[in-house]
Copies of this chain bind each other. A is one copy, B any other.
């Protein structure tokens, strides 16, 4: 159950001294485990488990994975228009004629774009900004694809939707972009408040504050 086990420390046993790294780093297995454990969400334990699974199922596991990785490495590129990753440039979304070209959704990264695509809530086009502004981390407007955004917004866009993180950096970036596009088109931001299924009981103060501020009329009121 414990990671260290009950090492009895025999001097005859090199593995006991090396502890959990009993594979040397220049060994092909040790190197594979090291490479796998660098991946997001994988610790050394799960990397070891993964390596073992791959090595015991070469035809069904390891070799198809190597082929898929190599193929993706060769064929996937950045879309020069929006910054998405796809096998085509411009990407499938930019080429999709069924999308509303008047709507442009600005996201920080490709992961946000994919999450929005997965949900199917948006049927316009995207623009990947490549991050957020951050004075602390030295990320200035030059590190973001704002020139491309300005050019695209000027084209035939009637509304730019900022789908940025609800963090200080995300909001700073939103204000910067809104200012940049002030005379170009309408700029909107995503609503803030309770997530679907969320209870006020479990929400942080910031979200509660945003939810109160953006409350909407359900019935009655002076307008009726």
Contact = CB atoms under 8 A, between A and B. Distances in A.
A73 interface: yes
A35 interface: yes
Interface stretch (A9-17, A179-187, A208-216): A9-17
B31 A55 contact: no
Contacts of A20: 118
A63 interface: yes
B50 A72 contact: no
A53 to B, nearest CB: 5
A36 to B, nearest CB: 7
A48 interface: yes
Interface of A: 1-2, 4-10, 12-20, 22, 27-29, 31-32, 34-36, 38-42, 46, 48-56, 58, 61-66, 68-76, 85-87, 96, 98-100, 110-111, 114, 117-123, 195-198
Nearest 4 CB-CB pairs, A to B? A5-B119, A16-B120, A13-B123, A7-B120
16 contacts: A4-B119, A5-B121, A6-B119, A14-B98, A15-B117, A15-B118, A15-B123, A17-B120, A22-B117, A28-B87, A29-B86, A32-B68, A35-B65, A63-B73, A66-B69, A69-B69
